[in-house]
Amino acid sequence: MNPTKSSAISLRVNGETHSLTVDNRTTLLDALREHIDLTGTKKGCDQGQCGACTVLLDGRRANSCLQLAVAAEGRAVTTIEGMADGERLHPVQQAFLDFDGYQCGYCTPGQVCSAVAVIEEHAAGWPSAATADIRPETGPPPLDDNEIRERMSGNLCRCGAYVSIVRAVAEAAAQAAAVRESAGDTTPDGGSGSGTVPAGGSGARVTA
Amino acid sequence: MTAPTVSAPSTPMAVPSVSAATAAAGTTTSPAPTRTAGSSGAVGTSRTRLEGRAKVTGAARYAGEVPFAELAYGWLATSTVARGRIRSIGAEPVLAMPGVLAVLHHENAPRLKPGVGMMGPDATLQILQDDRVPHVGWPVALVVAETPEQARAAAEALVVTYDEEPHDVGFSSGHPGLHTPDGGPRARTDTEKGDIEAELAASAVVVDEEYTTPEEYHTAMEPHAAVARWEDGRLEVIDSNQGSHAVAQDLAKLFFLDATSVRVRSEHVGGAFGSKGLMRPHLIVAAMAATMLDRPVRVVLTRRQLFSMVGFRPATAQRIRLGAEPGGRLRALDHDATSFSSTINEYVEQSAQPSRVVYAADALRTRTRVVRLDVPTPSFMRAPGWAPGSFAIESAMDELAEKTGLDPITLRLRNEPEVGPASGLPFSSRNLIPCFEEGARRFGWTDRDPRPGTRRDGRWLLGTGMAAAAHSAGTAPSSASITAEADGTFTVRIAAADIGTGARTALTQIAADALETPLKTVRVKIADSDFGPAFLAGGSMGTASWAWAVTEAAAALREKLALVDQIPGEGTTARADTTELVMAMRGQERYAFGAQFAEVAVDVASGEVRVRRMLGTFAVGRVVNPLTARSQLIGGMIMGLSMALHEEGIRDTASGGLVNGDLAGYHVASNADVPVIEAGWVDDPDTYNPTGIKGLGEIGIVGVAAAIANAVWHATGIRHRSLPIRLDRVLTAGTAIENSIGGGAVTY
Ligand code: FES
Ligand code: FES
């Protein structure tokens, strides 16, 4: 047993390196909130059930309440505070603001971080439980409302902003696809490249 | 299975939500909000939230997020028995643990003033005052330490022993302890008009059924948090609550302090739904510890603690008896509502309320009974009474429609009252019929085939259902001040709370119009008890009450400004208090109304119910900000969907505790549970409150569970009278089609 109860670590958060001494029991979430004063990452349950604490770890979304700070050393942590480009909001943040994809705002940082990752996961061709055809040769599924709903379901919103969240994510995804297209990115990983992302699309795949 | 395959119902609404919203007959906001400022006409225009940027960037700080030097962390330890007395608290070894500063418990905690409470003496405020344990999860000690990790470990290590006593947590409508609540002015528990038994006996068609709803929990995403500290002789608090002024008043009384020496602020609140309306234990123990240690102390409740300390909606069992003529006109409406409270407070879930408002009947009786159990104290949860009550009465009305062979909307139109059915008072406005008409048109209700169990899409049975909704739209006294600054801008101060409602933005729009000034010249400061009395963000009364105070203050300020040549450096301020104006309001009943529509698909193999689309059409007075109003209404409807299909607190009778007290066990609707949902509104002029505003935080949830249950009946031919409509319940009950094929009809 290691008799040491605390550890000196350095955390790379939003491109900045922070040196801190943490109790070995400190979660990444508490390290961010209590030690680095980055309180944008929220604590809704502290036990991996709500998604409010979602951050990007090396570009992939993770519940920071389920990570120990000491285990996050050497990894790139991106929090909600690292999303905007100076004064310019990230397109996902702007879409949440414009479409009112929130009410109390407490789940919002987690939703935004998740949405940023969802758009990338989708563009990279990752299927979800809502994907009907997962054969690689069929390419990425269109990011329709059902895909967004499924992929965003790790983030609870008790205010019930889901309808607007889906629209905000669809809008931001359409923008991201347009950017990729104009950049000439037509690799299979780079989205469909043929405008199959229906902005604000319907749940039309479930036909009544 | 050889059920007939019939084509799906026509779904005019099943088009992309974006265009549907724009196409709707002027009743819904256009999806892209305008962000331009204007000197007038701010009210009625969609505005994005003023604090939106702070919220989407993570800059908005909630109560548990404000840093202080020397901050200490409190962690509550809670009881593990349902009833008894504390025999011992093993504080010694815990005090020796690293970083532990104090262990507060009933033997050493500061004494509190008894009898304090916002709505009468509230025993849930008497924390750490004696050895009584009234339920599992009652706070028995607070451990304070230098870090949250140390505080948590110490609280978990604290050994508390109890002398246990037998407990009772089992609720049913037949419980022998059910009694008439002691009532008080706020709680009219019984009403009676006409001879209910005689009218029932003379009725051609009778519905007599019991409907039940389970314990339901607010589960706001932000756990209750408070930091308390003494600064310059004042107790300064940052807390998550729905009304900083009322909380400050109670806090001062509780600690024997002068009202002016307590200040409570709650700038951003992460959802509440009623759970943050009253002062809660986290704040009381934080104030105790800050006083004892003379340093800032923060206490945040854990997700599990939220399931035993901040209220919940108690389970209800409601018997409805309807007696009608063959043409559907009601001769008798009897609504007998039962629920439970704790042994220490008598909270009454007023589930019979909707039956006093929505339908005319020759004889009308409502009764409310409650039993005291060894459980945490329930409290207001979004549309208290109205939400569970509407499930019962609106389900029963659907059963009456079935029995009389009438369309559910036609049946309701035939029972539209002229005046308040129980009170005989006039309605200040009643635009329920336009809600039915507009909703039916948009939803595509008119072509509906009334026969149940006849539409099929693969393994899914399809159905549609509707329900009426009503919620009180009251006004409460509030005060506000407005300062005309020397630079030409205005500062509004009001102890309102924005718990996600958009109140900050709405009040800015209202002030801009009242002052006839561009929106960008108005700054609204809220959620600070120093701003004076204001009603809390609750009861769908917040915005209507605050807006009146703001418009009165604006009028007073304009009068004042007419008399001054130049605004002095410190500005010119006017105050208004609406107490007298509000007290003069009497003689009318004021409500928001609505019509809820739902289409469901029921999986005959798994029993899963999926809501495919929902539409709510509401009469909610003057809509200040269509963008946020729509969000709030849809948010209510989603909570209604969640109530219909998912939410159920399960209490273990052996231990008395909640089995599923966390967000994994207590399922609230997630994104994948929620389909296209639309909310719109009809014209609803009503200046009984001169602002014309009715609240819309609660009307959205009312009626949804019944609309969904009625749709499930339409899909399957089976009534579900107990919420939530779980998979196992659907499977056990089966479908009318299956049952008839199987030969033995299953009655349910
Ligand atoms: S706080 Fe991490 S999942 Fe809820
Ligand atoms: S905005 Fe309040 S929980 Fe999502």
pLDDT tens digit string along B355-381? 999 999 999 999 999 999 999 999 999
Q: Which of A83, A100, A203 minimises the CB distance to B631?
A: A100
Which region among A96-105, A106-115, A132-141, B651-660 has the lowest average model confidence (pLDDT)? A132-141
- Asked if A114 has any chain B CB less than 8 Å from its own CB, the reply is no
Give domain A91-195's CATH number out of 1.10.150.120, 1.10.3720.10, 3.30.2130.30, 3.30.465.10. 1.10.150.120
Q: B31-60+477-584: what fold? A: Aldehyde Oxidoreductase; domain 4 (3.30.365)
Tokens linked to A204? 């039309």
CB contact under 8 A, A23 and B150: yes
Query: How many cross-chain Cβ pairs, A to B, lie less than 8 Å apart?
Result: 218
Distance A162 CA to ligand 2 centre (A): 9
- The predicted model scores a pTM of 0.93
Ligand 1 proximity of A49 Cβ (cutoff 6 Å): yes
- A103 and B664 within 8 Å at the Cβ level: the answer is no
Residue type (1 letter), B524: V
Q: Which atom of ligand 2 is nearest to the CA of A103?
A: 1
Best probe of the B interface among A24, A63, A80, A106, by most B CBs < 10 A, is A106
| Maximum Cα–Cα distance across chain A | 63
Q: What is the pLDDT of residues B315-332, one digit of tens each?
A: 999 999 999 999 999 999
Among B5, B221, B634, pick the best mutation site for testing chain A contact (most A Cβ within 10 A): B221
Q: Does A88 touch chain B if contact means CB atoms closer than 8 Å?
A: no
Work out the number of other CB atoms within 10 angstroms of the CB of residue B356.
22
State the DSSP H helix or E strand holding residue B562, giving kind and residue range, or none if neither.
Answer: helix B542-563
Contact, B431 vs B617, CB < 8 A? no
CA-based torsion, B146, B149, B150, B154: positive or negative: positive
| Fold for the domain defined by A6-82 | Ubiquitin-like (UB roll) (3.10.20)
Is the pLDDT at A76 greater than 80? The verdict is: yes
Inter-chain residue contact A97 with B48, CB threshold 8 Å: yes
Residue B358 is encoded by which pair of tokens? 């929505």
* Average pLDDT score over chain B: 93
Which ligand 1 atom is nearest residue A54's CA? 2
State the residue for tokens 């609406």: B578
pLDDT at B584: 94
Query: Residue B740 has what pLDDT?
Result: 57
Orientation angle between helical segments A162-182 and B626-645, nearest 10 degrees: 110
Question: Which one is catalytic: B349, B402, B698, B738?
Answer: B698
Q: Determine whether the shortest distance from the Cβ of B500 to ligand 2 is under 6 A.
A: yes
The SS3 of residue B493 is strand
The chain A residue lying nearest B462, using CA atoms, is A208
Q: Is the pLDDT of residue A166 over 50?
A: yes
pLDDT digits (tens, 9 = 90+) for A124-140: 999 999 998 888 788 77
CB contact under 8 A, B220 and A153: no
Of A153, A160, A202, the CB nearest to B676: A202
Instruction: Tell whether the torsion through CA atoms of B323, B324, B328 and B331 is positive or negative.
Output: negative
How big is chain B, counted in residues? 748
Q: What is the structure's pLDDT at B15? A: 30
Contact A202 B14 (CB under 8 A): yes
Give B472's strand partners: B591
CA B200 to chain centre: 34
Identify the bridge partners of residue B460 per DSSP, sorted by sequence position: B457, B603
Residues of chain B with pLDDT under 70: 1-40, 183-187, 737-748
**Residue among A8, A186, A168 at smallest CA distance from B56:** A168
A161 lines ligand 2 (CB under 6 A): yes
pLDDT of the residue at A136: 78
User: Is residue B349 annotated as a catalytic residue, yes or no?
Assistant: no
Domain boundaries, chain B: 31-60+477-584
A29 pLDDT higher than 90: yes
Residue A133: its pLDDT value, please?
Answer: 86
Residues A156, B670: C-beta atoms closer than 8 Å: yes
Residue intervals in chain A for CATH 3.10.20.30: 6-82
CB B420 within 8 A of CB B357: yes
Helix B704-716 vs helix B626-645: angle between axes, to the nearest 10 degrees? 50
Ligand 2: residue whose CA is nearest its atom 3: A157
pLDDT at A132: 87
Report the 10 Å Cβ neighbour count for B626: 19
